[in-house]
Structure 1
Amino acid sequence: MSFADSGFDYIVVGAGPAGCLLANRLSADPSCRVLLLEAGGRDNYPWIHIPVGYLHCIGNPRTDWCFKASAQAGLGGRELGYPRGRVLGGCSSINGMIYMRGQASDYDGWAAQGNQGWAWKDVLPLFKASERHFAGASEHHGGEGEWRVERQRYQWPILEAFRDAAEQCGIAKLDDFNTGDNQGSGYFQVNQRNGVRWNAAKAFLRPVMQRPNLTVLTGVQVDRLELEGGRASAVNGRWQNQPRRFSARREIILCAGAIGSPGILQRSGIGPRALLERLGIPVIHALEGVGGNLQDHLQLRLVYRIANARTLNQMAGSLWGKMGMGLRYLYDRSGPLAMAPSQLGAFVRSSPEQPSANLQYHVQPLSLERFGEPLHPFPAFTASVCNLRPLSRGRVDISSVDPGCAPVIDPNYLSDPADLKVAAQAIRLTRRIVQAPALAIFDPREYLPGAELNTEQQLYDAAARIGTTIFHPVGTCRMGSGSLDVVDSQLRVHGIDDLRVADASIMPEIVSGNTCSPTLMIGEKAAQLILQHSHSKRPQSTQHAIPTP
């Protein structure tokens, strides 16, 4: 089939969380023809669906782009792996499955910057619209949506003891992190269904794949957008090893994520003039902010050896242990194989001067040197803590006009002195929790970064040595009305008609927690904005045969 005149109404680029949701919402109108393009493959790899299988998906080119961040001066020159989903469902197919919205003040802050319609009171109904919470509909939760939220199905005594220790240090126990104020400690709620990962493809895409007006193509490497008369009119890329052109009558929506969306804009001649000229790309629209404002949560993974308790280190360290875990999962979809990477969470202020919780803990009954390496051969737990509101800013840029070339990702971690100060405070707070009476029976001993490190400079150096990404890049197509902003509050790209961005890249400031469900909310908001706009601009669709993906 020739795509030169296929005439889709909407083209959604990227089948991550926001893209899957948008394809669902836009194709609900049978008069609209919707095309969803995904560079990765189908989500039929078994390890996607077994929760602990994230260990087999991150760093696997079948499901992960396997990007690397550039050498980070703030991390002692280390180059970090930078996982991004390369499959239907995007990062929701390889992430930690944690359902988290952030804090009400995050969104009120977006609105205070001039982004009307993005305050907490505006976005809470959007979160609820897509949510199917295990407790049903309530003031804070939705009960009829597609995005399943469940309790975890396995608990560990060492984690309950950590929670008790946190309470002894003044961190109250909390049942629900998603009411607008997440300060406290509790067990994360997860995006699972009966112990199986619930990704965005299952939630939003698979139920509507048979709609005759929805086309889903995988393995499409998008190169650039075609611009005519100041509007985005088509998407150019490769599918089945052939160049393809996909035209859009109404709008093109980029949902390729904080790494992918700015890259598509830059290859299309929309971006910083100096970068485009250096790469020989004609400057169609100089938009200096494209690729800037990169923010991420840097986690400090403190590891403690313990006694008198079993952790995943021992259970997964023997053939019999692995067989036992597998049999239990086959029996009732519970046990360690049903685990999200992190079970227990806590949100706390690093110092009294902070207006709200600015640290997040992910506490795990396991330990390892780094992701992709074996678990330690001794019982241990990891208290991973990240600064929720880093001031350091980085950027992502294409390295070539070739879409197959990896981008240059520079998060610029710990470049702001305030982030170093928060890192030192986080290590000291973690030590105070671990030394509380509730954990004494387990005799915790600091393995990383090392209890002998105590001065401010030593803690700065320790943060540089153990810090790593927690996979939350945002902000590279920032929403706002300033000279470095990329989209307006309607998610329309400044200066280009019929082109929007709807993914984590539009966040002006990173949210205070995990970023998957906020990205879904952005997709829900985009659908609302697009459908409202379509009522005032609604050309007649010409029906065409839909190709089989």
Structure 2
Amino acid sequence: MRSPCAFPSVHRTSETDWGYSTEDQKMSSIVDPTKEVLNKGFPYARAKVIGGCSTVNGMIYIRGQKADYDFWATQGPEYKIWDYDHCLEAFKAVENNARKSPDEEFKKYHGFNGLLNVQDSSNDNYDILKDIYKIANNLGIPYNNDFNGVKQNGVGEYQHTMKDGKRFSLADGYLTDALKKVETYPPSKPFEIGSPHGLSDDAAKFVAVNVKSFAHMLNIIWDEEKKDENVAIGVKYFYDGRVHESFIAPKGEVIICGGAINSPQIFNKTMN
């Protein structure tokens, strides 16, 4: 999974992929609308590893269309935070773009201090790609050096979620350091030299994040006193042979991060 060129090998592998496929779809032919054509289903990789699909995907860093975000925001006042300007600020906060000598326009659309590393290809373009760019330009298709910038049409090269020639997943950016964060309880208890881990016998050690592999989400636990508001207060999940419940701390929140398919699947299952 670390090797960028080896990402296809982790698709359709039971240890790393849920094995989903799209369904066959019948639709009117574009060539002859009086006839139907069959679009056959195809494998649709969804990761079941730490880091999610950022650990098994093709590492292309591409955002959605500006018009889509702005359309979501028109659905009501509570959706305003989903307009493009709000989402762009979130994208920039997450991103650590490694492009060398970025121009001012590039800086408007990218972040440089986030935890997700993004870079241009580490290899020079193949000569055949350079020829394709020239041909496209001759056909009136503009060159685009930033598909996450002011426009997304054109021909050019994608940026990738990579660092130093290796895949850089969300786990690399966010989880690795969080797992290293160790605190003690009680926090004021001084370390004692010679004790295991440098801690005294009555001091507990814990990390900021608790990761449980092979845990399967079952459903969301809702606040019974706020049924009309759909307030989540915890989750129910299957782990180590039995069902567990986990509740949020005061002022905490439940965040479902099952991906584009599994997140709504969990929500719909719970609501129904």
TM tier, shorter chain?
0.7 to 0.9
Deviations 1:233-257 (CA, angstroms, capped at 9, x unpaired): 3322211222222222332221112
Aligned to 2:188: none
Q: Distance in 2 between matches of 1:257 and 1:193?
A: 23
Q: Distance in 1 between matches of 2:253 and 2:236?
A: 15
* Structure 2 letter corresponding to 1:156: Y
Question: Residue 192 of structure 1: CA displacement?
Answer: 0.4
Which of the numbers 66, 85, 92 marks the counterpart of 2:47? 85
Question: Residue 60 of structure 1: CA displacement?
Answer: 0.9
Matches within 5 A, 1:467-478: none
Aligned to 1:63: 16
Instruction: Give the paired residue count.
Output: 223
Aligned to 1:143: 112
Matched, 1:106 2:68: yes
Q: Distance in 1 between matches of 2:95 and 2:179?
A: 20
Matches within 5 A, 1:388-407: none
Aligned to 1:215: 210
Q: Distance in 2 between matches of 1:226 and 1:118?
A: 25
Deviations 1:375-406 (CA, angstroms, capped at 9, x unpaired): xxxxxxxxxxxxxxxxxxxxxxxxxxxxxxxx
Q: Is the 8 A contact 2:179 2:208 kept in 1?
A: no
Q: Distance in 2 between matches of 1:265 and 1:118?
A: 19
Deviations 1:32-71 (CA, angstroms, capped at 9, x unpaired): xxxxxxxxxxxxxxxx110011111111111110112333
Matches within 5 A, 1:375-414: none
Q: Distance in 1 between matches of 2:237 and 2:217?
A: 4
| Higher RCO (CA-CA < 8 Å; seq separation 6+) | 1
Q: Distance in 1 between matches of 2:151 and 2:174?
A: 28
Aligned to 1:243: 243
C-alpha RMSD of matched pairs (Å): 2.0
* Structure 2 letter corresponding to 1:90: G
Aligned to 1:177: 147
Aligned to 1:164: 134
Query: TM-score of the superposition, structure 1-length normalised?
Result: 0.39
Matched, 1:191 2:155: no
Secondary structure of the residue aligned to 1:82 is: coil
Which of the numbers 244, 262, 265 marks the counterpart of 2:264? 262
Secondary structure of the residue aligned to 2:156 is: strand
Deviations 1:80-127 (CA, angstroms, capped at 9, x unpaired): 222101101111111111111233333222223332122222222211
Q: Is the 8 A contact 1:54 1:94 kept in 2?
A: yes
Deviations 1:127-162 (CA, angstroms, capped at 9, x unpaired): 111111113782222111111111112322222222
Q: Distance in 1 between matches of 2:223 and 2:42?
A: 39
Deviations 1:311-330 (CA, angstroms, capped at 9, x unpaired): xxxxxxxxxxxxxxxxxxxx
Q: Distance in 1 between matches of 2:49 and 2:149?
A: 31
Aligned to 2:57: 95
Deviations 1:151-187 (CA, angstroms, capped at 9, x unpaired): 1123222222221111111011122122231222111
Q: 1:117 to 1:224 in 2, by over 3 A?
A: closer
Q: Is the 8 A contact 2:178 2:208 kept in 1?
A: no
Gaps of 5+ in 1: 1-47, 272-549
Query: 176-185 or 91-100: which moved more?
Result: 176-185
Deviations 1:198-234 (CA, angstroms, capped at 9, x unpaired): 1110011111113333212121011122334134333
Q: Distance in 2 between matches of 1:86 and 1:63?
A: 5
Deviations 1:402-427 (CA, angstroms, capped at 9, x unpaired): xxxxxxxxxxxxxxxxxxxxxxxxxx
Aligned residues with identical type, % of pairs: 29
Q: Distance in 2 between matches of 1:129 and 1:227?
A: 31
Q: Is the 8 A contact 1:104 1:180 kept in 2?
A: no
Query: TM-score of the superposition, structure 2-length normalised?
Result: 0.75
Question: Residue 77 of structure 1: CA displacement?
Answer: 6.5
Secondary structure of the residue aligned to 1:267 is: helix
Q: Is the 8 A contact 1:163 1:185 kept in 2?
A: yes
